[in-house]
Amino acid sequence: MLSAPARTELGVALLRTMIRIRVLEEGIEKHFLAGDIPGFAHLSIGQEAVAAGVCANLRADDAIASTHRGHGHTLAKGTSMRAMVAELFARATGVCRGKGGSMHIADFSVGMLGANGVVAGGFGLVAGAALSAVQRKTDQVAVCFFGDGATNRGPFHENLNLCAIWNLPAIFVLENNRYASTTSTAETMKIADVSIRAAGYGIPATIVDGFDAFAVYDALAAATARARSGGGPTFVECKTFRARGHYIGDPERYRRKGEADDVMQSDDPIVRMQAGLGDALSPDAFERLWNDARDEFADAVAFARNSPAPERDEAFFGVFSGDRDPADPVHRIEARERDALVPFAPQVGSGSQGSGH
């Protein structure tokens, strides 16, 4: 058990992470609607305590796999705000050179194995990263973030079973935010606690208040210790809520107007943490956390704006290891084929607004 001052210090760190995610995502929302960010963007406002509480337990060499709603996980795992924003702005300086975008952002320097455009795509990657840790005899762990909707797909079931029978250091973090796209979880499964599915594979599960970053942190501390010491996988269900639409621009016809406001009124994880810290965190210090995050985001936007779009030729390389070397047999993009394609001007700043999944 942590001492009181250490607990406060942890609380402030968790709060800092949550505020950085909130500022980042509110900024993404603004810039997306202004047309600075192309593609789709899915926000995790309301769910920040999960990303913060989980990643505070992880080392840079531990792996995470994220979802289409992955900004918070990525930032919490340690990716720089600059590299993230530049990626979302489709710049050459983005963490994926402008080839991934919001739904396919990854940062291998901090063990972030990628957001995933395919629901449930992360389960295999985490099972594999955990298996790899066993094969290489390290004490690394791998964490899979996923939504309730993902647990209705086959890879969830196959990979939980695989991790269970091989006792792999994998941790399954369910963000049960009550919805999958436009469908409420109650309509797609007969159970209230999705985590009871873990029992079918012999994996212990805990349910935590997903608005409480301390609760998430503690559950992950136990799961991480278990995984590192060869105890096998753990399932943690975080009861949380998605305060925004499924994607930016979602008209949210599937839920009552005001529902999100009501939940955030009582359960905003940032407000809850601030209240929990009480006098240990002065109003000034709290304000400073916000200002620092806003400064960091403004700097990231300036960095992105000053960054070039990717060179056109960049589109043709990076498929295979070795494909930048014309002598390598995998170099398969013949210059004549590239040039035969209609020349195009890179479309920077043409955000598609509020469409699609």
Ligand X SMILES: Cc1ncc(C[n+]2csc(CCOP(=O)(O)OP(=O)(O)O)c2C)c(N)n1
* Cα 147 to Cα 18, 139, 223, distances in angstroms: 19, 26, 19
Residue of 271, 254, 244 whose CA lies nearest to 29 = 244
Write the binding mask 248 to 287 for ligand X: x where contact by CB under 6 A, - elsewhere. ----------------------------------------
Check residue 109 for interaction with another protein (CB under 8 A). yes
Distance, in Å, from the CA atom of 248 to the CA atom of 264, rounded to the nearest integer, reads 18
Cβ-based nearer residue to ligand X, 120 or 203: 120
Q: Which stretch binds another protein (CB under 8 A): 136-144, 186-194, 240-248, 294-302?
A: 136-144
Cβ-based nearer residue to ligand X, 146 or 303: 146
Binding another protein by CB under 8 A: which of 54, 65, 194, 260? 65
Within its chain, how far is the Cα of 224 from the centroid? 18
Is 7 exposed, middle or buried (CB count within 10 Å of its CB: 0-12, 13-18, 19+)? middle
Check residue 144 for interaction with ligand X (CB under 6 A). no
What is the layout of strands, in order, in the sheet containing 234-239? 63-65, 142-147, 170-176, 234-239, 205-209
The tokens describing 56, both together, are 């505070």
Residue of 129, 167, 122 whose CA lies nearest to 149 = 122
Residues from 280 through 319 that contact another protein (CB under 8 A): 318-319
Binding ligand X by CB under 6 A: which of 69, 73, 197, 272? 69
Check residue 181 for interaction with ligand X (CB under 6 A). yes
- Picked from ligand X, another protein, none, the partner binding residue 318 (CB below 5 to 8 A depending on kind) is another protein
- Picked from another protein, ligand X, none, the partner binding residue 202 (CB below 5 to 8 A depending on kind) is none
Residue of 242, 209, 197, 226 whose CA lies nearest to 44 = 242
Cβ-based nearer residue to ligand X, 148 or 268: 148
Cβ-based nearer residue to ligand X, 67 or 195: 67
